[in-house]
Structures are given as structure tokens and as C-alpha cells.
Amino acid sequence: MSALAIMPERGFFAARLRDLRGRAGLSQPALAERAGIGVSTLRQFEYGRREPTFATLVKLATGLGVSLSAFEPPDEPPPADEPPPRRKRGRPHGE
């Protein structure tokens, strides 16, 4: 199982990795060298073809100069157009 198997949507990691690399001002070859992984491996991550193991995720975070939490999805509130959950009717048990 990959380190990011619990990610809520497919492709999140790929997009996040591209974003972080861009913010760091690094090319794919530069990040691959800093992280100690192959350029082709990095490309596969960025294209969403593969997801890293935990050990590789740590290498990527180190190469980018970020913490592992930088790869976590943001907390999102429920969509505004969804009605709030319905409450049960009747008296509570015990009354």
C-alpha cells in the first residue's frame, strides 16, 4: 500500500507535487537530484501514474524543503448547497 493510499481523490498527490515543485522554483531534474530519486520516477508521480512509498515521500519533502504535512489535503467544509443533516424526530430514549 502506498503512503498516500488514504488520499481522498486520485490525482491529488500529483497536482500537489507539481505545485510544490513550482513554488520551490525547481525543475524536475533538479528536484529528482535533491531528493535522490530518478527523473523518470518523479515524472510518473507528477503524471499520476504512481504514488510514492513513505520513504520516497520523505525524500521528496526533504528535496523540496517542506514538511510531510505539505502533502496533506486541506480540510474542506461540506459544500454549501447540501442541506444540513436531518435530526431524528420524537423523544430521546430514556424520557
Per-residue pLDDT reduced to its tens digit, 61-87 = 999 999 999 988 877 655 666 666 666
Domain of residue 47 covers 12-64
The pLDDT value given to residue 73 = 81
Would the pLDDT of 7 be above 90? no
Q: Is 70 a member of any domain?
A: no
Rounded CA-CA distance 49/65 in Å is: 24
Domains contained in the chain, number: 1
Would the pLDDT of 93 be above 50? yes
Rounded CA-CA distance 75/72 in Å is: 9
The predicted model scores a pTM of 0.69
Q: Is 89 a member of any domain?
A: no
Report the 10 Å Cβ neighbour count for 17: 22
Rounded CA-CA distance 66/23 in Å is: 11
Q: Is 77 a member of any domain?
A: no
Q: Is 32 a member of any domain?
A: yes
